[in-house]
Structure 1
Amino acid sequence: MENLGEEAQVAVVIVPLPAQGHLNSLLHFSRLISSRGVPVHFTGSATHNRQAKTRIQGWDPLTISNIHFHDLPLPPFPVPPPDPRARNKFPAHLQPSFDAAVLHLRQPFAALLRSLCSTTRHVAVIHDSVMSFAAEESGAHANAEAYCFHSVSAFSAFFFQLDFIGWPSDEELKLPVLPAFSMEGCFTDEFIDFMGTHVKMTMLDAGHIYNSCRAIESVFLDLVSKLPNAGKTHSRPWVVGPLHPITLENHGGSRPRHKCLEWLDKQPPRSVLYVSFGSNSSVSEEEIYELAMGLKQSEQRFVWVLREADRGDIFAEESKKNGEKYGLPENYELGLEELGIVVRDWAPQLEILAHQSTGGFLSHCGWNSCMESMSFGVPLGTWPMHSDQPFNAMLVTEVLRIGVPVREWARHEEIVRSADVEVGVRRLMGSEEGMEMRRRAEELGGAIREALLDGGSSKEDLDSFIAHISK
């Protein structure tokens, strides 16, 4: 553990869940906090800290001198492979890494917190909503406070919390009218139990932080603040998104430009569909086959990221199997480059979505992907698989009306056939309805970017949070 230096006025400690979307969003948030001159201590195992730094996009964490990475000791844990044929698409293979983090990181985190509290006037601990042991440890120090960070939308968080605490009889909440929805299949029983223990501990937090924007979901942010566990001292949540950079850097030119960006350079404006189901989602060979045929039949240009889902340790030797061409029809990629390109490594998603040739995003609807797509004004084809993704898909299609469903959650146990893929892609990319969705998405993207400027809601909430922890 590094030398923490002389006495400081305020410091922030970050405690992420060891999964890509959670590591990514909290490292982006660390950049924003550190840009205000506040030291940030990013905690996790050496493996997961390395993952966060290796995969960050739009800026280089090694250039930010007041972000301090603490590699906390974590014993070896099982790294099972994903199961693409599982009926429940939740990444159950990551549960051992979640359990190991909660069981083994608590003690070294507590030691770090004690050291920081002895040299710092005030320590703000920002923890993932399912790493709430950090809130308990913070309560042992008079000069420490914990804040719950939600890596999901307020829309999702609102319904998740209602599911845990029960639906209120008070009609003052005035819930919007939405289609009937079942959470069946969103999680495994093991992860539901895992979440349940942590939801109870969020009552210890001093407030809640959202990677969202009031331009996207102001109604649901207001509803969240009315729930019993909205925070002890600051009932209005801090809404500070989008956290990812809007103006992108290329790590000082240290990374070569990805080949898919060179291909995008040659395509007409807003003509390309970006296809990616995130880092933790698995699809079977049959699903890949149907998607491949549907994309080709749609006759729409595409960039498709086709990789095996992450394991708990992405650097373990058995994890390096993403180059396999499983599921694609024979000779599928021969002569494909006129229409599309298949990417089998880690793709520069921010740069793809920001590219002028990108006109749509066929997505699993993880919240980071949704935020990134919306901030660049790109409409979505929704293909939810698990967790908060079905809620995000509903927000995109039913509330914001900037997307079309390609995989209906009500039929999530069925294989999406190529004909349905073709219809959904053409609807998004080649119809008047799709053009209207793109117009709304571009307007929303402008409003989101304005929220980050002086006088914008997200900038004001970040200013408010920094002022709050600096008192």
Structure 2
Amino acid sequence: MEGQNNSNVAVVMVPFPAQGHLNQLLHLSRLITSYGIPVHYAGSATHNHQAKVRVQGWDTNSLTKITFHDFQLPPYSSPPPNPNLSVSFPVHLQPLFDISTHLQKPVSELLEQLSAKCRRIIVVHDSLMASVVQDIKFIPNAESFRFVPISAFTQFIGFWQRIPETDKPFQIDPCVVIPRCIPSRDGTFTPEIASFIIDQKKFWGFESGRIYNTSRAIEGRYVELLEKLSGNETETETTHFVVGPFHPVEITASRERRHRCLEWLDEHENGSVIYVSFGSMTSLTAEQNRELATGLERSGHKFLWVLRNADKGDGFYNGEIPELPEGYEERVKGRGMVVREWGPQLDILAHQSVGGFMSHCGWNSCIESISMGVPIAAWPMHSDQPRNAVFITEVLGIGVTVKDWEDRGKLVSSATIESAVQKLMTSEEGKEMRKRASELGDAVRKSVSIGGASSLEMDAFIAHITR
């Protein structure tokens, strides 16, 4: 269906202003424009710029097919990232999240403008931006879809645990893996972000369906449980479109713009390097960074470490450089590389030299790693990450645990880090994990190819919105 003319229908993306959320909906925008449908990406000027400069895995010339609407947010101030808090959720971003609700008026005006020009407008909004698009119910030729930015497993577990045992609407088939020890929600969020999420949930329910950045090849059973659960919750039918992964699985980045770390990876054997990165919203303490540095050094394995603090409240990196032990980079020269700027994660995970990923287990990172067949050393920090980590290690069996969520307040020692790296990269157990990860990667890539499950569901979504 690529290239067909569907210009009488327009899609409006309304992302949540955090990197993993921005990134996912930008990838989905690329997919939709490939069907000849115009996409309008609506957000603050700052965060639209952030999404564009960090795009990876596909030709940035494709950005010209997407119309960006750069809205201005009211002035706000944010404290600097603080890695020493008892809860590691990035509280410095809370003012940004709160002020993002002010996008309601400009987004509503955009929808009214497009409504007058198009036969139908389709709004795809992040779950955490529901209040911003609430006026869609007053636009007769508009239809909305809620984007679910987390794994189907994590979302189902969250819903299921909140239902009292006596009110469970059905029994779960014994063949569905539900780990005995599900990490608690304690420490995953601050009271302020929990309140923000609850406020957004009040605006759920007017959408025609949900869109997931996952694949039935890895989460089919949990999507089916969500479908069954939503069927019991409402009288109206909710369509679930499982069209992920959104990101490209065949990387086409320009060789002229290749990051220097990719050239470094070129020098090493297949599967010999562990990639270390904890995303854009996490800062480790100075003491924890030293333990991590020592653990990587003592492991004896090659590593590529993206070492940076969390983005500032305006969505960009603050430029502060975390300290390393004296002489560290000279000692590990040749087998270890430290990158102190934004790293092209998709390009890195797709590189044949990368054989493991030490990650915070944000869903964006998980689905990227799975699609590239790379096993994970799981080190969750906050939000949905602890349950994603359990999904990776206990359900899929493609990872090792670096830090149990129950030990979240403790320092992870260099010995623990060393052991996790060695287990993932050289042990027989790690070998089996890499084999399973490779098989899952093949299945996910097959699902997005022509005739695959995700590709067919994407076709179904396009057929639905252009009907």
For 1:44 and 1:368, how far apart are their aligned partners in 2? 19
2:459 equivalent to 1:458: no
2:355 equivalent to 1:356: no
Deviations 1:179-223 (A, max 9, x none): 323110111111111111212322111100000000111111111
Q: Which moved more, 1:19-28 or 1:219-228?
A: 219-228
Deviations 1:402-460 (A, max 9, x none): 00101111211111101111111100001111111000100000000000112111001
Aligned to 2:86: 87
211 and 231 in structure 1: CA distance in 2 versus 1, 3 angstrom threshold: farther
AA in 2 matched with 1:83: N
Report the alpha carbon displacement of residue 399 of structure 1 after superposing the two structures with TM: 0.5
Q: 8 Å contact 1:364–1:383 — kept in the other structure?
A: yes
Aligned to 2:74: 75
Across the two proteins, how many residue pairs are aligned to each other? 457
For 2:402 and 2:151, how far apart are their aligned partners in 1? 21
For 1:138 and 1:107, how far apart are their aligned partners in 2? 12
For 1:191 and 1:296, how far apart are their aligned partners in 2? 37
For 2:130 and 2:160, how far apart are their aligned partners in 1? 19
2:27 equivalent to 1:31: no
2:305 equivalent to 1:304: yes
Runs of 4+ in structure 1 off by over 6 angstroms are 229-232
Q: TM-score, normalised by structure 2?
A: 0.94
2:157 equivalent to 1:184: no
AA in 2 matched with 1:114: E
Q: Which moved more, 1:78-87 or 1:164-173?
A: 164-173
63 and 235 in structure 1: CA distance in 2 versus 1, 3 angstrom threshold: closer
> In the TM superposition, what are the counterparts of 1:38-49 in structure 2 within 5 Å?
38-49=37-48
For 1:242 and 1:408, how far apart are their aligned partners in 2? 27
Determine which of 216, 240, 243 is the counterpart of 1:240.
243
Aligned to 2:137: 139
For 1:348 and 1:461, how far apart are their aligned partners in 2? 28
Q: 8 Å contact 2:292–2:413 — kept in the other structure?
A: yes
AA in 2 matched with 1:212: T
Aligned to 1:3: none
AA in 2 matched with 1:374: I
For 1:182 and 1:172, how far apart are their aligned partners in 2? 22
Q: 8 Å contact 1:134–1:146 — kept in the other structure?
A: no
378 and 232 in structure 1: CA distance in 2 versus 1, 3 angstrom threshold: farther
Q: Secondary structure at the match of 1:451?
A: helix
For 1:437 and 1:239, how far apart are their aligned partners in 2? 25
222 and 145 in structure 1: CA distance in 2 versus 1, 3 angstrom threshold: same
Report the alpha carbon displacement of residue 106 of structure 1 after superposing the two structures with TM: 0.4
Q: 8 Å contact 2:212–2:244 — kept in the other structure?
A: yes
Deviations 1:74-106 (A, max 9, x none): 12211321111111111111111111111x210
- Listed as ranges, the gaps of 5+ residues in structure 2 are 1-5
Aligned to 1:404: 400
Report the alpha carbon displacement of residue 338 of structure 1 after superposing the two structures with TM: 2.2
AA in 1 matched with 2:305: W
For 2:49 and 2:301, how far apart are their aligned partners in 1? 37
Q: 8 Å contact 1:61–1:67 — kept in the other structure?
A: no
AA in 2 matched with 1:98: F
Q: 8 Å contact 2:311–2:318 — kept in the other structure?
A: no
AA in 1 matched with 2:31: L
Aligned to 2:387: 391
For 2:94 and 2:252, how far apart are their aligned partners in 1? 34
Report the alpha carbon displacement of residue 333 of structure 1 after superposing the two structures with TM: 1.1
> In the TM superposition, what are the counterparts of 1:89-168 in structure 2 within 5 Å?
89-102=88-101, 104-162=102-160, 168=167
Q: Secondary structure at the match of 1:145?
A: strand
Aligned to 2:340: 344
Aligned to 1:4: none
Aligned to 1:427: 423
AA in 2 matched with 1:262: E
Report the alpha carbon displacement of residue 8 of structure 1 after superposing the two structures with TM: 4.5
AA in 1 matched with 2:238: S
Q: Secondary structure at the match of 1:384?
A: coil
146 and 446 in structure 1: CA distance in 2 versus 1, 3 angstrom threshold: same
Deviations 1:16-49 (A, max 9, x none): 0000000000000000001001110000011000
Q: 8 Å contact 2:312–2:318 — kept in the other structure?
A: no
Q: 8 Å contact 2:308–2:322 — kept in the other structure?
A: no
Aligned to 1:470: 466
For 1:360 and 1:421, how far apart are their aligned partners in 2? 13
Q: 8 Å contact 1:276–1:362 — kept in the other structure?
A: yes
For 1:136 and 1:188, how far apart are their aligned partners in 2? 25
464 and 233 in structure 1: CA distance in 2 versus 1, 3 angstrom threshold: farther
For 2:161 and 2:117, how far apart are their aligned partners in 1? 41
Counting aligned pairs with the same residue, the percent is 49
75 and 438 in structure 1: CA distance in 2 versus 1, 3 angstrom threshold: same
Q: 8 Å contact 2:108–2:133 — kept in the other structure?
A: no
For 2:406 and 2:142, how far apart are their aligned partners in 1? 44
Report the alpha carbon displacement of residue 63 of structure 1 after superposing the two structures with TM: 3.0
Q: 8 Å contact 1:151–1:210 — kept in the other structure?
A: yes
AA in 2 matched with 1:139: K
Report the alpha carbon displacement of residue 159 of structure 1 after superposing the two structures with TM: 2.4
Deviations 1:96-120 (A, max 9, x none): 1111111x21000000000011111
Report the alpha carbon displacement of residue 64 of structure 1 after superposing the two structures with TM: 4.1
282 and 271 in structure 1: CA distance in 2 versus 1, 3 angstrom threshold: same
Aligned to 1:225: 227
Report the alpha carbon displacement of residue 134 of structure 1 after superposing the two structures with TM: 4.1
